[in-house]
Structure 1
Amino acid sequence: MNTPHNPKQQAVALAYEAGDLAPHVVAKGRGLIAEQIIARAKEHEIFVHESKELVNLLMQVDLDDHIPPALYTAIAEILAWLYQMENQTLGK
């Protein structure tokens, strides 16, 4: 049984590599596209953080653009938490 699509759902995918000035937007979309972004992330065991407010702000960033400085702290906190969780998992 297929679940109905949520046309209001939004998703933004970020990428960050050492040496980058800041994370940049690699995918974004609404509705079915958002669902596909989330599904692809989960297939590849990529962490999915849910925050409507943050996604609303990130949806304003163009594809391939770096996130704005106003979002550095919020994204840095998520990345720091994620790195900590990965280190705990690898340390077990």
Structure 2
Amino acid sequence: MNEPPKTPIAVALEYETGGVPRVTAKGRGPIAEAIVAKAEESGVHIEENAALAQALSRVELDAQIPEELFRAVAAVISFVLRAGKLKPPA
């Protein structure tokens, strides 16, 4: 049985050292595709995690992430920080 195509979902986070990450953009379908395209053209690392994106999509824009998502988001931030250190200088 063929499954219908899944609607893409994207959530952008902002994190400043010592603070709590905030949701700065989110969307589905064409909006999600635009968020991903903007991230790619800006050189922002992208982590694909459908379950986390789904959970974060319920957080209001500019709101801090809820405590129950801290561990999962920390793993993403750690990935991004490591990936940034591995990137060759421009």
Q: Normalization by structure 1: what TM-score?
A: 0.82
Q: In structure 2, give the amino acid aligned to 1:17.
A: E
Structure 2: distance between partners of 1:25 and 1:89: 25
Structure 1: distance between partners of 2:51 and 2:25: 17
Structure 1 runs of 4+ aligned residues shifted over 4 Å read none
- Aligned CA-pair RMSD: 1.8
Deviation at 1:7, TM superposition (A): 7.1
SS at match of 2:55: helix
* Number of residues of Structure 1 aligned to a counterpart in Structure 2: 85
Q: Say whether residues 1:26 and 2:30 are aligned partners.
A: no
SS at match of 1:39: helix
What's the CA shift string for 1:32-89, capped at 9, x where partnerless? 1000000000000101111110011001000000011111111111211221222233
Structure 2: distance between partners of 1:54 and 1:34: 14
What's the CA shift string for 1:6-53, capped at 9, x where partnerless? 771111000011242x10000001111000000000000101111110
Residue 3 of structure 1 is matched in structure 2 by none
Residue 49 of structure 2 is matched in structure 1 by 51
Contact preservation (8 Å) 1:7, 1:31: no
5+ long unaligned stretches in structure 2: none
5+ long unaligned stretches in structure 1: 1-5
Q: In structure 1, give the amino acid aligned to 2:15.
A: Y
Contact preservation (8 Å) 1:7, 1:32: no
Q: In structure 1, give the amino acid aligned to 2:74.
A: A
Residue 73 of structure 1 is matched in structure 2 by 71
